[in-house]
Structure 1
Amino acid sequence: MNKQYTYREDELVMLLKQRDAEAFGYLYDHYAASLNGIIRSFVADEQQALDVLQECFVKIWSQVQTYDASRARLFTWLAAVARNTAIDMLRSRNWKNTLQNRALSDEEYVMPAVTGWNIDTIGLRGAVKNLREEQRQVIELAYFEGMSHSAIAAETGLPVGTVKTRLRAALIELRKFIK
């Protein structure tokens, strides 16, 4: 039969500093959810947040001797450890590499043209009509037909560099019309 203890803060700190495993279990049971909430405000991914929480409790176990009750309450110190651990993880080179190497989700494959926007209702077709013919041609092929620069060059007989230059000039003009 497990007897459930309730510790006063000073008792809990004293037992933690004595490396009492039962007190550490109590600490985890009573503070993990709150600390995870703090970590989740920094780390969106649930699994990564749990990894940070685990690292946080490892730090608490190894650094509990540094806790000073005259400087802060126990929860304030625990919250600072959790916050700092989350920030350290976000700043780490490994975290940055993980972000760069992650797989694209299905949402990231969606092309802007299939988001359900009707280009006629936002006035884009009207703005394109105000462009010079050479600019209108490349804009329509690139954005309304979805053609690549090289495909537009093949279609129009223009060099790829000229296609890119006309597209850029057209976008600058469109920006003026839309504002």
Structure 2
Amino acid sequence: MSVLYDMYSPTLFGIVLQIVKIEETAEDILQEAFIKIWNSFDKYDTSKGRLFTWMINICRNQAIDTIRSKQHRVGNKTQDITANERAFFSADALKPEHIGVREMVDNLSPEQKMVIDLMYFKGLTQSEIAEEFNIPLGTVKTRARSAVKVLSSFFKGRA
């Protein structure tokens, strides 16, 4: 576990911090995610993808679950704005841009990029995107699916 933590925690922390924007919350989420990773390690299937990708998904889902929770939303309303700004602009925070994800997303069509940004970097569901932007849910799903296909080809090219 310590080897996994040493290898992946800086990048995973950056991804979680990008979602929650508060350093202390990101630290708690990362700890919870690593416990979940350790406890469900037997469920990891190498045929479905890389270990790092599996770990990113667990961390990302943990972060999204946290920001959607009522407790977080109520606590966040009373959070000092300067603390949010410090977390967001922290010089040593590793963000997804550092592993090339942002550059790959920037290569998508504007419609695909918007959906991916809202889903993966802001944590919105496809239904929430459809409702907020007055787009049919099927259109959002199609854009997300086609974006994933494009991104998949980028990842295959890097492997």
- Of structures 1 and 2, the one scoring higher in RCO (CA 8 A, sep 6+) is 2
| Bigger radius of gyration among the two | 1
TM-score, normalised to structure 2's length? 0.49
The structure carrying a bigger helix percent of its residues is 2
